[in-house]
């Protein structure tokens, strides 16, 4: 049964994309603060969250790897996209098992992703049920991109067709926020199990918007791929040592 492991990177869109009423709604909590200083602080806090919401952010990269073969593809938006850059990327990544494929825009990126997704029976993610999948669904709907797989948010307490490792390593949040099976981030799990951390190169998800603004899309793609490679290794730990626990 082919299993697809994937991860997405997102970045906030500019405030100019929202009208006055939408901006008022987004920053309403900030305006309720008692002082100008607290309003500014709350406004900055809210702005940092824009990358987490599909109506205020876009998908800038999706990395995908076949859990069995190790082959995959990284789709990412490239501002300077052209056919020559596409050929250069394909040549550079040839033989490594993973192709870096620049896309002209988000619509093309999402379309390419759903074309790959239809070929897989199952997916593996880390926190995909809580973030990646609903983000992809809503963003695709917003841009009118056809969704080829609409069954990834089905019955929570099963691992087919979606195995979310964040759910599995917390046993579906059995002990809440502070118990024995509390949720840790991917970096922490990787270090605990001796898996190379995707953040070892000094890039984290917090850097994506800055890298995008600086035109360093390839670095975003490489970071996203490291997340997926780490997720594949963490999946093997779960499969070999924990799968079947109820």
145 touches 111 (CB < 8 A): yes
Q: Which of 228, 229, 220 shows the shortest CA–CA distance to 61?
A: 220
Side-chain-side CA neighbours of residue 14 (13 Å): 4
- d(CA 3, CA 12) in angstroms, rounded, equals 30
153 touches 161 (CB < 8 A): no
**pLDDT score at 92:** 46
The pTM is what? Answer: 0.92
Q: Which of 140, 153, 80 shows the shortest CA–CA distance to 108?
A: 140
Torsion angle, alpha carbons of 130, 229, 185, 9, to 10? -50
Residues of the chain with pLDDT under 50: 83-95
CATH for 3-18+56-241 is 3.30.420.10
**pLDDT score at 201:** 79
Three-state SS at 104 = coil
Query: In the structure encoding, which two tokens stand for residue 135, read together?
Result: 């983000």
**pLDDT score at 96:** 60
**pLDDT score at 200:** 82
């Amino acid at each position: 049964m082919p299993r697809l492991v994937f991860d997405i990177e997102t970045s906030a869109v500019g405030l100019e994309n929202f009208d006055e009423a939408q901006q008022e709604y987004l920053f309403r909590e900030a305006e309720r603060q008692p002082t100008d200083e607290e309003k500014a602080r709350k406004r900055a806090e809210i702005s940092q969250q824009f990358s987490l919401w599909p109506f205020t952010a876009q998908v800038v990269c999706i990395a995908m790897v076949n859990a069995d073969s190790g082959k995959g593809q990284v789709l990412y938006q490239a501002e300077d996209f052209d056919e020559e850059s596409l050929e250069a990327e394909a040549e550079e990544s040839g033989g490594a098992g993973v192709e870096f494929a620049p896309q002209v825009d988000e619509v093309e990126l999402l379309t390419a992703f759903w074309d790959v997704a239809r070929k897989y029976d199952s997916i593996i993610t880390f926190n995909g049920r809580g973030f990646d999948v609903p983000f992809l669904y809503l963003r695709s709907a917003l841009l009118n991109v056809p969704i080829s797989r609409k069954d990834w948010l089905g019955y929570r307490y099963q691992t087919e067709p979606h195995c979310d490792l964040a759910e599995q390593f917390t046993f579906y949040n059995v002990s809440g926020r502070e118990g024995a099976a509390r949720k840790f981030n991917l970096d922490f799990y990787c270090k605990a199990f001796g898996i190379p951390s995707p953040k070892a190169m000094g890039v984290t998800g917090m850097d994506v918007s800055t890298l995008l603004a600086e035109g360093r899309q390839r670095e975003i793609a490489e970071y996203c791929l490291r997340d997926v490679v780490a997720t594949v290794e963490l999946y093997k730990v779960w499969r070999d040592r924990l799968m079947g626990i109820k």
